[in-house]
Chains A and B, each alone.
Chain A
Amino acid sequence: MAFIEISNLSKSFGEVVAVDAVTMKIAEGSFTSFLGPSGCGKTTLLRMLAGLEEPDAGEIIVGGKTIFSSSQMISTSAKDRRMGLVFQSYALWPHMKVFDNIAYGLKVKEAPRQDIEERIDSLLAMMKMEGLEGRYPSELSGGQQQRVSVARMLAVEPQILLMDEPLSNLDAKLRLGMRAELKRIHRETGITVIYVTHDQVEAFGLSTCVAVMNEGRIQQVDSPANIYSRPQNLFVAGFIGTPHVNLMPGKVANGENRKIEMVGGFDLTFPKGPTLRDSQEVIVAVRPEDLKIRKGRGGRDGVEYLVDGILMSGPDLLLNLKRKASILLARVGRNFPLSEGDKVYVDFNPSECNIYDRKTGNILLA
């Protein structure tokens, strides 16, 4: 049985549906990220787990115990849920020193003074913040405040640690360091982490499991690798990856043989998979780095494209390719000898692309 079970959880604010019948399971000890554009309902979902927002409907079960159920009118209050929440703003109490911020939860539980001190010493050591317990939050750097806010939540030994975009207020360099720190803390404590972010690099780097959300719904729950290479629908395919995926409209020429004709001039035949409907409208999705670019035709097939623009991104070059009305984005090594106006031949492996139904947006072949 899964550790956390969410079923049909919904929440509206007035007319706006923030979370729409979300159902998912989360394994114990996992690091799960809710990933989605802003306003997709990920923070609301997190706050409902924490007990800070009351769902309109649905159920939440943690470790076999129902902590929220609209049908049974059960709603355990936030203070009794044994979850920690790290806020985007850190929400450190400005009138308390670092020590008192971390000790607060333990004091509330009336832990003995001795235990509190030992616990805080070990937490400060884990956070590499020894000697800073006498400072006020305003005397700390952003990264240090962040660590205090994590330590404050870990102090009460929660079952689950929730994090709401905890790194978004840090500058880029610090963010990278803190990412590694969070991963280490997760490893050392073995706690179940649920993490909200709109930054896919962050979600992929940290998580064992990613849940992509849009418009209040879960789009796909999977490992980072699968989310990237096998998006289950067009939204996930388009949302994940920078630069974004190439989406090429096409039509099924022969359903039985899975032969597809594409507007961009390609013809594809998939060796295996279910039978497609003849003349079904589809979308073929290929990641820019999966497009093979050659300067000469050579002996192989390939569709001729014009290099319309070259953008240097650092490690590699991003190419804007053009052929009549169809435009492709490709990615090649930064030493690839090319200049704007060149002709190139484009090709890709059917096993590295995904086919979606144009109407429903759902995946047909992968």
Chain B
Amino acid sequence: MEEIPTIAKLARFLRIKLSQPRIFLGIILLIPLTYLIIAPIISLITGASSFQLVDIFRLPGVKVGEFTLYHWGKVLSNRAIFTRPLLNTLLIGIGVAGVTMILGCMIAWLVSRTDMLLKGPISILATLPYILPSWALALPWIEMFRNTGMGIGVGFLEYATGLKAPPWLVFGPLPVIIVLGLHYFPFVFIMVSSALRNVSSELEEAGELLGAGRLKIFRTITFPIVMPALLSAAILAFSRAVGSFGTPSLLGIPGRFTVLSILIKSLMDKNRQSESYILAIILISICAVVFYLNNRVIGTRKSFETMGGKGIRKHLVPLGKLRTPVCGAVIVFFVVTILFPLGLLVWTSFMSNAGDYSISNFSLQYWIGVADPADPTYITGYPGVFRHHMFFTSLKNTILISVVGAAITAFMGMLVGYVLVRGRGKRLSSLIEQLSFVPIMIPSIAFGATYISLFGVSRGPIPALYGTLAIMILVVVGKQIPYASRTGISAMYQPSKELEEAAEVVGAGWLKRFRQIIWPLTRVGFSAGFLIVFITTTRELSLFIMLVTARTSILTTLTFSYAEMGVRQLSYALMTTLVMLTLSFTGIYKLYERHSAKSLMEKGIL
């Protein structure tokens, strides 16, 4: 046999390996994944542990970029910017996780395990809060409870009853936990009810036949099966809550209650980047530890979630006489906590003078008024939403960032899905899988901080991106990759590997196979990924708050800035618009989902 030189052998080896699209795409994917996920984290850590430009003026003799633990010492020894906010953050996280667990489990159990009335509408109401921006309910909270006793104007409660809410109810940890808990409980509701649906009542009946009592059955059978889902959902709620910015700022700061997310932003505003980065690292570490513990505790037991399918029988618990009252109580609960506050938000946006909720005070000023002193409708100096040039700029930016970001992310999600599904168990695929799921652990506000640290200055061929739409799009891609990958993976499981192989043996190269076989069969997954990222991006605040500038203003940041300034009606009008937009996008998504499932079933693909 002829001898082949090593170089030629290596070249042949590479050609054979790279001709497999799984390997080729996997290697290509490593570049953006490293750049969008790993590099920002590294630069956050180096930025936290080195001197910045501003330090030169404060500390003579130091060089920019020089390694130092100076900032770490400064932060960790400071009660006001480290210890207290850290404890407050944990309080919020644990509180929110607790609220979501109680609320989510109760409603999930009622909907999937009892014969309660009106399950359909209640299920929809129970997912509604998550569709809204996380701080949507913070605005009506203030509007409800603000009072003259605190010197911040009349709120609805005082207007209607004359009662003055105590300050701890208006601002501070309690309202923050309630508002965030109401926003995140749908996580628990959705995951626990799907877990409950997968528990065949036969499992419980088997326990009953063996003589176990109701409580014992719940404790030893139902609960352990549902527990992994419950814990995962609560941990997701925890990590989102500790990284959220809008609600703690609006409801916490006025009550002198600060959390890490607020400080990360305010230290950055004060040009104390290193200290801001350190807090971001601490926030990320908290979430990483929590996720790690979750994995350790439930680890393999996650598989319960996929149990069942066929042969699941439901025996519903009869509520008997309580059937109507329970349903009524749940509906009243949602009306009081969600529908009424949203109504108050909309109503107040039509009030000419804040604090007067009468019909005679009705005005369109904050919707279509102009900010012209000569105009008879001129009142405050702020134009109405639809006359506000910043509104249109922000709307345009929101759409642009969401569309471009969602398209890129969804496409990458499909590629990640392909590499993972085709290369299950292979080293390259596991690496990509781990990389692409890292952003789930990073709270939004901290993720924003990592992007400032990496893209804030020019590095090599890439100019400083701060203040551009590009950085906003990149941060969307980085943060949303896990979710798009998830839809990508499930989309790629749809067509069997053999469909692609059949094309390969009749002579189709991989580009052709992608375009003609895989893409037509997984396009639905792309659209789903696109819409999911698009919808989450349009309502996102925490991720962008650190990166936004006047030029790149988006709807959420514009709304937030007016809310922060206390321009009540204008911020409510903007929030109303935002809520309408997110609701209609979600509606479109739901319709599309139903339509595509139907058309796929007709063709026999599903």
Contacts and interface: CB of A to CB of B under 8 A. Distances in A.
Interface of A: 50-52, 54, 71-75, 77-81, 83-85, 87, 89, 91-95, 104-105, 108-109, 136-139, 149, 152-153, 155-156, 158
A136 B504 contact: no
- Ranked nearest first, the 8 interchain pairs of A and B with the lowest CB-CB distance are A138-B604, A105-B506, A73-B12, A91-B498, A91-B502, A78-B504, A75-B16, A79-B507
Nearest to A138: B604
8 contacts: A72-B1, A73-B9, A78-B501, A79-B504, A84-B506, A94-B495, A108-B507, A153-B506
Contacts of B16: 54, 73, 75
B505 A85 contact: yes
Interface of B: 1-2, 4, 8-9, 12-13, 16, 19, 495-496, 498-499, 501-509, 512, 516-517, 520-521, 603-605
Nearest to B504: A78
A152 B503 CA distance: 10
Nearest to B9: A73
Given A52-B504, A75-B16, A108-B508, A93 B499 contact: yes
A251 B250 CA distance: 94
A227 B78 CA distance: 85
A138 B603 contact: yes
Nearest to A84: B505
A85 B9 contact: no
A159 to B, nearest CB: 12
Given A73-B4, A94-B604, A89 B498 contact: yes
Nearest to A149: B502
Given A73-B4, A73-B12, A94-B521, A83 B604 contact: no
Given A54-B16, A72-B4, A73-B4, A94 B603 contact: yes
A107 to B, nearest CB: 9
Contact of B2 (A51, A72, A108, A109): A72
A83 B516 CA distance: 21
B10 to A, nearest CB: 9
A185 to B, nearest CB: 17
B12 A108 contact: no
A105 B605 CA distance: 21
A87 B501 CA distance: 9
Contacts of B508: 79, 104-105, 108
Nearest to A59: B1
A228 to B, nearest CB: 32
A66 to B, nearest CB: 10
A54 B426 CA distance: 14
Nearest to B513: A79
A73 B13 contact: yes
A52 B499 CA distance: 12
A109 B502 contact: no
User: Which one of A72, A74, A137 has the highest number of Cβ atoms from chain B below 10 Å of its Cβ?
Assistant: A72
A121 B19 CA distance: 34
Contacts of A74: 12
Contact of A136 (B2, B509, B603): B603
B496 A91 contact: yes
Given A104-B506, A138-B605, A149-B502, 16 more contacts: A52-B505, A54-B16, A73-B16, A77-B19, A78-B501, A87-B501, A91-B496, A91-B499, A91-B502, A94-B603, A138-B603, A139-B604, A152-B506, A156-B506, A156-B507, A158-B505
A155 B506 CA distance: 9
Given A73-B13, A77-B19, A138-B604, A108 B505 contact: no
B517 A93 contact: yes
A87 B496 CA distance: 11
A105 B504 CA distance: 9
Contacts of A72: 1-2, 4, 12
Contacts of B498: 87, 89, 91
Nearest to B605: A94
B501 A52 contact: yes
A108 B509 CA distance: 9
A52 B503 CA distance: 11
